[in-house]
């Protein structure tokens, strides 16, 4: 008998008259694309196939659609009430979902990313803070093998909170004498060691939020390509 898995809907779209295709983030598996029959009337499950709704899911071993890497969901139910997000927290949740769909391949084997996503959404429900986005981005980059060490510089020395560093693409952080912290441009920005340590420990004070955002955007840019993220436009007033 197939195992029940915890999951979240990242995105869904209509497939047939009574079915939808869902992009899921599933505990112990990663991203899963699947077909689910929605039913109709009182038996319809459309109300739970929404973002930020904790789910319990069971998959069939067979694929319903030829030439598509789709699993078939044989059972799905709400595991808990939907996590309430609003305002910037809601926009942030959409950003996490879009980022995951864009960068995760189907069945990318990851366990920690589901937990990172779950913690981020719960934290956003309590109060909005951009640090929750940075922590998920960090976890995602780590899973994709695109996160430089936040603990050691290129020479293997521990990052010093009182020093400043420049990111060298594909290498890591190089200590520099320059103390002017700028915006990221072709990887030439200087960032404080204190921010790198805080990001690693997931305890970012307000003073480091902008430099952490610049670093994460720089690291994500080559993975995302030139197509913009629609969810980022929600933050533009």
CATH number at residue 65: 2.40.50.140
Flag the least confident range among 65-74, 154-163, 222-231: 65-74
- Beta-ladder partners of 100: none
Residue by residue, DSSP assigns 30-81 as EEEEEEEE---GGG--GGGSSTT--EEEEEESS-SSTTS--EEEEEEEESSP
Q: 139 near 113, Cβ under 8 Å?
A: yes
**Structural domain includes residue 179:** no
Which residue's entry shows tokens 């200087």?
190
Please tell me whether the overall predicted TM-score, pTM, comes out greater than 0.85 for this model.
Answer: yes
- What is the pLDDT, as a whole number, of residue 159? 98
Q: Is the pLDDT of residue 175 over 90?
A: yes
Q: Where are the alpha helices (DSSP H) in 39-130?
A: 87-103, 112-126
Reported as a pLDDT band with limits 50, 70 and 90, residue 210 is very high
Let me know if residue 170 belongs to a domain.
no
Strand ranges of the sheet holding 164-168, from the earlier edge strand across to the other edge: 172-176, 164-168, 190-192
Calpha distance 2→161 (Å, rounded): 49
Whether residue 158 is contained in a domain is answered as no
Tell me the per-residue pLDDT of 77-134, one tens digit each, with 9 for 90 and over: 999 999 999 999 999 999 999 999 999 988 667 778 999 999 999 999 999 999 999 9
Give domain status of residue 191, yes or no: no
Whether residue 129 is contained in a domain is answered as: no
Residue 51 and residue 8 in contact, taking contact as beta carbons nearer than 8 Å:
yes
Q: For the chain, how many structural domains are there in total?
A: 1
41 pLDDT higher than 80: no
By residue count, the chain amounts to: 237
Element (H, E) at 136: helix 131-143
What is the structure's pLDDT at 106? 82
Return the pLDDT at 66: 43
Residue 44 pLDDT grade (very low, low, confident, very high; cuts 50, 70, 90): confident
Q: Region 227-237: what's the mean pLDDT?
A: 79
Q: Is 67 part of a structural domain of the chain? A: yes
- Looking at 8-12, 129-133, 194-198, 228-232, which range is the least confident one? 228-232
Range of the domain at 33: 5-78
pLDDT of residue 64 exceeding 50, the answer is no
Q: Tell me, yes or no, whether 201 lies in a domain.
A: no
Helix then strand then coil, % of the chain, to nearest 5: 35, 25, 40
State what percent of residues in the chain have pLDDT above 90.
Answer: 64
Average pLDDT, the chain: 88
* Domain-embedded: residue 56: yes
**180 alpha-carbon distance from chain centroid:** 30
């Amino acid at each position: 008998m197939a195992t029940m898995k915890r999951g979240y809907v990242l995105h869904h779209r209509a497939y047939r008259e009574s079915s939808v295709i869902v992009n899921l983030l599933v505990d112990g598996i990663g991203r899963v694309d699947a077909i689910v029959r929605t039913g109709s009337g009182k038996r319809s499950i459309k109300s739970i196939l929404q973002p930020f709704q904790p789910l319990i899911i069971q998959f069939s071993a067979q694929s319903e659609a030829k030439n598509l890497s789709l699993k078939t969901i044989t059972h799905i139910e709400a595991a808990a009430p939907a996590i309430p997000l609003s305002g910037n927290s809601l926009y942030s949740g959409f950003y996490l979902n879009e980022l995951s769909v864009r960068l995760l391949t189907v069945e990318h084997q990851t366990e920690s990313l589901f937990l990172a996503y779950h913690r981020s959404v719960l934290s956003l429900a309590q109060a909005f803070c951009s640090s929750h986005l940075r922590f998920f981005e960090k976890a995602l980059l780590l899973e994709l093998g695109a996160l430089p060490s936040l603990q050691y510089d290129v020479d293997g020395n521990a990052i010093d909170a009182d020093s400043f560093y420049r990111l060298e693409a594909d290498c890591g952080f190089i200590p520099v004498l320059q103390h002017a912290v700028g915006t990221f441009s072709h990887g030439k920005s200087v960032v404080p060691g204190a921010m790198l340590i805080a990001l690693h420990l997931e305890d970012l004070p307000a003073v480091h939020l902008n430099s952490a955002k610049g670093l994460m955007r720089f690291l994500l840019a080559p993975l995302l390509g030139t197509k913009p993220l629609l969810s980022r436009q929600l933050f533009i007033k």
